[in-house]
Structure 1
Amino acid sequence: MIKILHTADIHLDSPLTSLALRDEQLRANIQSATRSAFVRIIDTALSEDVAALLISGDLYDGAQRSAKTAAFLTAQLERLQVAGIPVFYIKGNHDAENPITGEVTLPDNVHVFDGRGGKVQLADTDIWIHGVSFSGKHAPDSLLNKFAAPVSGAVNIAILHTSLGGAVGHDNYAPCSVAELAAMGFDYWALGHVHKRQVHSEAPWVVMPGIPQGRDIGEAGRKSATLLSIDEEEITVTEIPTSVVLFLSHAVDLSGAESDDDIRQKIRADLHEMTSELGRAERTILRLSLAGHTTRHWHVLRDRDVWFETVTQIAEETGRLWVEKLSFALEAPRVASDKSATEELGQLMAKIAAEDGFVAQAQAEVEEVLSQLPSACRTALLSDPAALATLTDELAKAGSEHLFASMKGASE
């Protein structure tokens, strides 16, 4: 049995972006999460006694020069060198942007494929590793023509950084189809670039391992590397957990809660149960929502700031959970047919918020506030042409809902 570990898109020193990082303790603990995930990969390679480590591009994150990153990377790869484990690495688009990619002298056990492509036999085995790196920051065309034919009678593994047919949130690089990969005759395609893990095919294996450490709620859930076990010519794959910080969305059902004590008890029980299910040393950043039906509906919405602080403290009691954002998806109580003045006012506010004149004025005021923010913050909030309208609508709804809840909470 020969084992090989496959990873990609490590993005060393890529910052984790989260409002929860305002917590000083949390920020100190996870500022090096991408490094910690890479250490787990190296630890796994050693504990599983693998024959090789494959890195399918984007080992680095971007154009920032970092001597510390270079020293860290060299030290980790030397751990494999001491154990006699070779590393096969192709450069992706982010690697091509990074100055230290070409300046760091990697240990002798690391083979970096260039843009012309090539193949290397794995020690004394009948396994051949093929790879093609990006020659520059972009690869708008397919790189499949740079791969030599598989070696006859051997197990052939190909390493490629590609978006395949395209993926949301990822540039369309080195495009190709799963059918085209299958037709090439390789036994395993070790892909990289798309951050969501997916096994596209099992005959042959076409595996996108995903990013080993999520960086925000858009990369939620546990992340992993892929372990290949090769027995003669048969290959099986296993997911190996790598992430040290999780981003998760979670809802707490408050149905049946008749008092604030009941609500706190439900939240505490739910979050402590979640903590018990976490893996080793995992810290979790939550986007939490309060859902269900409770007689305290309006009071919770009225006092949402208080509840955010309450939920935050309950989460931090666990030592493993931090709340990034709290939203409210509570079911509104049924109203009697004879509407109260408060309910009529609520309907009126909703009607006004939808009027063109109000929308235009509200957008202008929101745009004025945004103009006072640093450009990076504005870019994050206004990611596309429709973002201003969406943000204004969300703020208007939140404001009218809060006012309505304040009136209802005071009257009940």
Structure 2
Amino acid sequence: MIKILHTADVHLDSPLTSLALRDEALRANIQSATRSAFVRIIDTALAEGVRALLIAGDLYDGAQRSAKTAAFLVGQLERLRAAGIPVFYIKGNHDAENPITGEVALPDNVHVFDGRGGKVQLEGTDIWIHGVSFNGKHAPDSLLGKFGGPVSGAINIAMLHTSLAGAAGHDNYAPCSVSELAALGFDYWALGHVHKRQVHSEVPWVVMPGIPQGRDIGEAGPTSATLLTIENGAIGIEEVPTSVISFLGHSIDVSGAEADDEIRQRIRSGLHGPIQDMRADDAAILRLKLSGRTTRHWQVLRDRDIWAETVSQIAEETGRLWIEKLIFALEAPDAAADTSATQELGRLMAQIAAEEGFAAQAQAEVDEVLSQLPPARRAELMSDAAALSALTKELAGAGSEHLFALMKGASE
């Protein structure tokens, strides 16, 4: 049996983005997470006794020069060299714009495919590795024409950094279809670029391993590399966990809780779930939702800042969980049965918020505040007029809800 490890999109030194970075105890772990994930990849390669490591692009994150990153990378690749494990590497769009890739002398066990393409036989086997790198940071056209044919009678593995037919949140680079890949006759396509793991085909294998370390809630869940086993000409695959910190969405139902002590206990109990699903030395950053109907509804919303701090402290007591964002999705008591003056005022506020004049004035004020931000940050929050309208509506709704909660919470 021959084993080969396939990874991509390591994005060394890519900044993880999370509100949890405010926690000093967590910050250092977050900032080193992409390196720690790469160490896990190397550890897995050594522990499994693989015959090769495949890196299908975007080993680096961007154009910043970092001697520390270069030294770290060489040190990890040297560990594989000492064990006689070769590394096959293609450059993706991020690698192509990173000057380190052209300045660091990688160990001689690393074969870097160039933009012309090529193939290398894995020593002592009938396995051939084929690969094509990006020549620059953009690859708007298909790269399939740069692949030669598979070697007859051998196992052929092809490496490509591609968006395939397109993926949300990813530039449309080196476009191609799964059927086009299958038609070329290779046994396994080791892909990279799209950060969500997906097995697109089993005959032949077309595998996007996903990012080894998620960087924000948009890359949620445990992340992994792919371990190939080749025996008697047949290829099998296994998902190998790599992330040291996972971004997770989680919900806790506080329905029926009649007192704050009970709500806090529900939260403590509810946080056991994510921990049970984690490896012993892993941590997670949660986007936590409080849901359900409780008689403490308005008091919780009134004191939402206090509850946010309370939940963060309960999570941190575990030593393994941090809160990125707390979402209040509590169900309000039956409003139809409430004829109080406060409830009537709430209905009037909702009517005012829906009026065109109010919406226009509120949007103008939000636009004025956003104009004070740096252009890049402003673009993130308001990409177009529709985004400005949506942001204004969200802020107005949140303000109205908070004001109503202050009134209801004080009256009950």
The alignment's TM-score, normalised by the length of structure 2, stands at 0.98
Partner of 2:124 in structure 1? 124
Partner of 1:6 in structure 2? 6
Cα deviation, 1:93-128, whole Å, max 9, x if unaligned, reads 000010111111100000000000000000010000
Q: Give, as a single letter, the amino acid of the residue that structure 1 aligns with 2:115.
A: G
User: Structure 2: where are the runs of 5+ without partners?
Assistant: none
Deviation at 1:195, TM superposition (A): 0.2
Partner of 1:239 in structure 2? 239
CA distance in 1, matches of 2:296, 2:338: 21
Deviation at 1:295, TM superposition (A): 0.9
Q: Does 1:363 align with 2:359?
A: no
Partner of 2:93 in structure 1? 93
Partner of 1:51 in structure 2? 51
Partner of 2:259 in structure 1? 259
Query: Any idea what SS the aligned residue of 1:386 has?
Result: helix
CA distance in 2, matches of 1:208, 1:170: 13
Deviation at 1:278, TM superposition (A): 1.5
Which runs of structure 2 are paired with 1:163-202 in the superposition (5 Å)?
Answer: 163-202=163-202
CA distance in 1, matches of 2:392, 2:148: 55
Cα deviation, 1:62-94, whole Å, max 9, x if unaligned, reads 111111111100000010001000000000000
Residues 154 and 36 (structure 1 numbering): CA distance in 2 closer, same or farther, change over 3 Å? same
Partner of 1:373 in structure 2? 373
CA distance in 2, matches of 1:298, 1:196: 39
Query: Any idea what SS the aligned residue of 2:175 has?
Result: coil
Q: Give, as a single letter, the amino acid of the residue that structure 2 aligns with 1:35.
A: R
Q: Give, as a single letter, the amino acid of the residue that structure 2 aligns with 1:356.
A: E
Q: Does 1:65 align with 2:76?
A: no
Deviation at 1:340, TM superposition (A): 1.8
CA distance in 2, matches of 1:200, 1:5: 18
CA distance in 1, matches of 2:344, 2:263: 29
Q: Give, as a single letter, the amino acid of the residue that structure 2 aligns with 1:361.
A: Q
Query: Any idea what SS the aligned residue of 1:251 has?
Result: strand
Q: Does 1:400 align with 2:400?
A: yes
CA distance in 1, matches of 2:187, 2:137: 28
Deviation at 1:332, TM superposition (A): 1.2
User: Structure 1: where are the runs of 5+ without partners?
Assistant: none
Which runs of structure 2 are paired with 1:327-346 in the superposition (5 Å)?
Answer: 327-337=327-337, 339-346=339-346
Extract structure 1 runs of 4+ deviating beyond 4 A.
none
Partner of 1:326 in structure 2? 326
Q: Give, as a single letter, the amino acid of the residue that structure 2 aligns with 1:246.
A: S
Query: Any idea what SS the aligned residue of 1:28 has?
Result: helix
CA distance in 1, matches of 2:354, 2:372: 26
Deviation at 1:283, TM superposition (A): 1.2
Partner of 1:25 in structure 2? 25
Deviation at 1:382, TM superposition (A): 2.0
Query: Any idea what SS the aligned residue of 1:404 has?
Result: helix
Q: Give, as a single letter, the amino acid of the residue that structure 2 aligns with 1:132.
A: V
Q: Give, as a single letter, the amino acid of the residue that structure 2 aligns with 1:219.
A: E
CA distance in 1, matches of 2:166, 2:291: 35
CA distance in 1, matches of 2:26, 2:384: 31
CA distance in 2, matches of 1:155, 1:341: 77
CA distance in 1, matches of 2:132, 2:367: 46
Query: Any idea what SS the aligned residue of 2:348 has?
Result: helix
CA distance in 2, matches of 1:384, 1:91: 33
Partner of 1:134 in structure 2? 134
Deviation at 1:274, TM superposition (A): 2.5
Deviation at 1:384, TM superposition (A): 4.1
Deviation at 1:282, TM superposition (A): 1.4
CA distance in 1, matches of 2:374, 2:132: 40
User: Larger deviation: 397-406 or 220-229?
Assistant: 397-406
Query: Any idea what SS the aligned residue of 1:25 has?
Result: helix
Partner of 2:288 in structure 1? 288
Cα deviation, 1:284-339, whole Å, max 9, x if unaligned, reads 11111110111111111111111101101100100011111111111111134462
Partner of 2:80 in structure 1? 80
CA distance in 2, matches of 1:281, 1:379: 38
Cα deviation, 1:374-407, whole Å, max 9, x if unaligned, reads 3343233224442211111111000100111111
Residues 409 and 189 (structure 1 numbering): CA distance in 2 closer, same or farther, change over 3 Å? same
CA distance in 1, matches of 2:10, 2:376: 24
The alignment's TM-score, normalised by the length of structure 1, stands at 0.98
CA distance in 1, matches of 2:299, 2:338: 22
Deviation at 1:61, TM superposition (A): 0.3
User: Larger deviation: 132-141 or 265-274?
Assistant: 265-274
RMSD: 1.1
CA distance in 2, matches of 1:6, 1:382: 38
CA distance in 2, matches of 1:231, 1:17: 42
Q: Give, as a single letter, the amino acid of the residue that structure 1 aligns with 2:264.
A: R
Q: Give, as a single letter, the amino acid of the residue that structure 1 aligns with 2:8.
A: A
Which runs of structure 2 are paired with 1:96-111 in the superposition (5 Å)?
Answer: 96-111=96-111
Cα deviation, 1:226-271, whole Å, max 9, x if unaligned, reads 0000002100000000000111111110012010010000001111
Residues 385 and 191 (structure 1 numbering): CA distance in 2 closer, same or farther, change over 3 Å? farther
CA distance in 1, matches of 2:244, 2:278: 11
Identity %: 79
CA distance in 2, matches of 1:187, 1:364: 58
CA distance in 2, matches of 1:74, 1:280: 28
CA distance in 2, matches of 1:209, 1:277: 21
